[in-house]
Every structure is written in C-alpha cells, then in structure tokens.
C-alpha cells in the first residue's frame, strides 16, 4: 500500500496571533511556524502503517513557499520516505483555496499511485476542514473524516470516527481518504538518528503553476478582525428579570 500524507506549514499552535492594522489578515511576520498539529497526527498514522508492514511507502506533500521544505524534513525525520514540495508564494492561510489544494493533492495521489491519502481534519489557520472530503470527491474515493482509530483489513479500512453523539465505526473500501482527528494517535518526536537519516531522503520540487490547476481564489477574505472585547456582565435583581433578559435581550430562550 502506498500512502500520501498532506503536511501544512501553519502558525504554531502556541502563538498568540495579532491582526494586521489594515485587517487584511493575521500578522505572520516573524511568527513561529510549525507543522499543523493535525498533519503531525496524519504523518504518525502513516508511519505506524509502515511499521506494521501494511504500507510500503509514505510520501509527504506540502504546498507553499521555500520554508515548507522544513515541514517536509520533519515528516521525513518522523519516517516518511520522500517529500513533494509544490511551490507557491501566496499566503497559504488564506491565499489559496481548499479546492486548489485538493486538486493538487488529488493530482499527486494519482501520480504517486497512492492507495490511501491521510490529511489532518483541518488546518489551524484556515480552519476550513474541506480538503479531505474534496480530495475524496475529486478522486471518487471513499472517505472517513475525524478519524480517531484506524485498522487496515485487506482491501478494507476499518475506521473509528468521532461525532457529536459518539464514535461510529465505518468500513471503507480502499482506496480512501482519511482525515485525522486529535485522538487518532500521539505523534512521535523525530529522534536525532532519524533527523540525520532524513538528510538523504529526496524532496521533489514542483511549481504549482506548472500543474495546470486553477489557482484563482473564488472566495476572498474581506476582513479579519479581533473577536469583540468581552463586555461586563449585568447583575439582575430577581429571577423574573433574569428570564426576561434571557428571552428578550439575549434571545436564547
């Protein structure tokens, strides 16, 4: 089985982001960037499949500027076999649409003869959560999103999927697209020997523009603003007053 894993270079989860003064987006200057946490979980799951001898090769793909090579090297150091860097200079948090990303990933899923595509359920900058399902749609493959457990059984993928009402068990016919949720696994640290081994693993560089995929943004960001400052609470005198406010002012009952 061959596995393609998407890894996105996004703002580090611990960073307290600030909005740009012109409200066109979040200020990314000098901000710490890391592999999207859900992408780490996706890589970890792919490596575990390799260790179980279910997967033969794990290919990591990243879309973005030159610095994405670092993200790919992290995936290689975790155990991926090779990397694909699709280069573009647009802001990857909001300058490229999930549809374009999905088309790129679908293109390479076919190119790399992948049987399984694993991506994070969403990226913590865009929070779109669209790429996984769209890739499945474009390829005509089965999909399992919000995966919290995964087993390969011959040509079937048995997936545990998190929903609001509990965990559901799905049986997917390969090839499939899976999106990784938080509880799927705990990603490993890249050990020093593996960091050194990753130096020799190949990364192919491809210009996004050369793929013949429509990169035009159909949805543009109008403005990005801070959440409203939390207003002070109000002290009420009686239960009747409380019910009245909840009904007529807050509109929640």
Partner 1 sequence: SMHPASRVVASRCLRKTLNSRLSSLASYDLFNPTPEHAQLRSMIRNFCDQEVLPQAIEYNRKEVFNVDLFRKLGDLGVLGITVAEEYGGAGMDATAAVIVLEELNASDPSVSIAYLAHAMLFCNNLNQNGSHELKQKYLPGASAGSLICGMCMSEPGAGTDVLGMSTSATPSEDGSYFTINGTKMWITNGSLDGTDTGDAFFVYAKTGKGRAPGDLSAFVVEKGMPGFSLGQKITGKLGNRASNTAELVFDNVKVPATNLIGKVGGASLCMMRNLEIERIGAGAMAMGTARSSLDIMTKYAAERKQFGKPIGEYGQMQKYISESYSQYMAGRSYLYNVARQLDLSTYGNGLDADGVKLFCAPIAKNIADRAIQVLGGNGYTAEYMVEQYWRDSKLGEIGGGTLEAHHKNMWRDLMKRRNIL
3-state secondary structure of 237: coil
- Residue 156 or residue 197: which is nearer to partner 1 going by CB? 197
Based on the shown chain and the rule CB under 8 A, indicate whether residue 189 belongs to the binding site for partner 1. yes
Q: What whole-number distance in Å separates Cα of residue 39 and Cα of residue 99? A: 18
- Residue 34 or residue 103: which is nearer to partner 1 going by CB? 34
- Residue 189 or residue 249: which is nearer to partner 1 going by CB? 189
Contact 194, 78 (CB under 8 A): yes
Among candidate residues 179, 181, 84, the one with its CA nearest the CA of residue 137: 179
Q: How many residues bind partner 1 (CB under 8 A)?
A: 16
CB of 177 to partner 1, least distance (A): 28
Based on the shown chain and the rule CB under 8 A, indicate whether residue 199 belongs to the binding site for partner 1. yes
Residues near 149 by Cβ (< 8 Å), separated by ≥ 6? 159, 160, 167, 184
Q: Residue 167's beta-bridge partner residues?
A: 162
- Residue 192 or residue 234: which is nearer to partner 1 going by CB? 192
Residue list 25-44, contact with partner 1 (CB under 8 A): 34
Q: What whole-number distance in Å separates Cα of residue 100 and Cα of residue 95? A: 10
DSSP assignment string, 68-98: HHHHHHHHHHHT-SEEEEEE--S-TTTSS-H
User: By CB under 8 A, which span of 47-55, 81-89, 188-196, 207-215 interacts with partner 1?
Assistant: 188-196
- Residue 55 or residue 198: which is nearer to partner 1 going by CB? 198
Residue list 57-116, contact with partner 1 (CB under 8 A): 70, 73-74, 77
Q: Which residues are near partner 1 by CB under 8 A?
A: 14, 34, 70, 73-74, 77, 189-196, 198-199
């Amino acid at each position: 089985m061959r596995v393609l894993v998407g890894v996105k270079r996004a703002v580090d989860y611990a960073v307290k982001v600030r909005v740009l003064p012109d409200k066109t987006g979040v200020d990314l200057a000098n901000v710490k960037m890391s592999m999207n946490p859900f992408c780490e979980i996706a890589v970890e799951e792919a490596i575990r499949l390799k260790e179980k001898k279910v997967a033969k090769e794990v290919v990591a793909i990243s879309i973005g500027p030159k610095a994405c090579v670092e993200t790919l090297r992290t995936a290689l150091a975790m155990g991926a076999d090779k990397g694909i860097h699709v280069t573009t200079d647009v802001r990857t948090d909001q300058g490229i649409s999930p549809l374009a990303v999905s088309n790129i990933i679908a293109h390479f899923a076919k190119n790399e003869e992948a049987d399984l595509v694993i991506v994070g359920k969403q990226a913590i900058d865009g929070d779109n959560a669209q790429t996984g399902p769209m890739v499945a749609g474009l390829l005509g493959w089965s999909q399992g999103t919000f995966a919290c457990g995964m087993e390969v059984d011959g040509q079937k993928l048995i997936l545990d999927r998190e929903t609001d009402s509990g965990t559901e068990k799905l049986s997917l016919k390969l090839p499939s697209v899976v999106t990784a949720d938080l509880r799927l696994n705990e990603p490993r640290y890249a050990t020093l020997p593996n960091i050194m081994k990753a130096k020799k693993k190949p990364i192919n560089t491809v210009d996004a523009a050369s793929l013949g995929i429509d990169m035009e943004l159909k949805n543009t960001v109008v403005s990005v603003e801070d959440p409203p400052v939390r207003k002070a609470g109000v002290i009420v005198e009686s239960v009747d007053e409380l019910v009245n406010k909840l009904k007529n002012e807050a509109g929640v009952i």
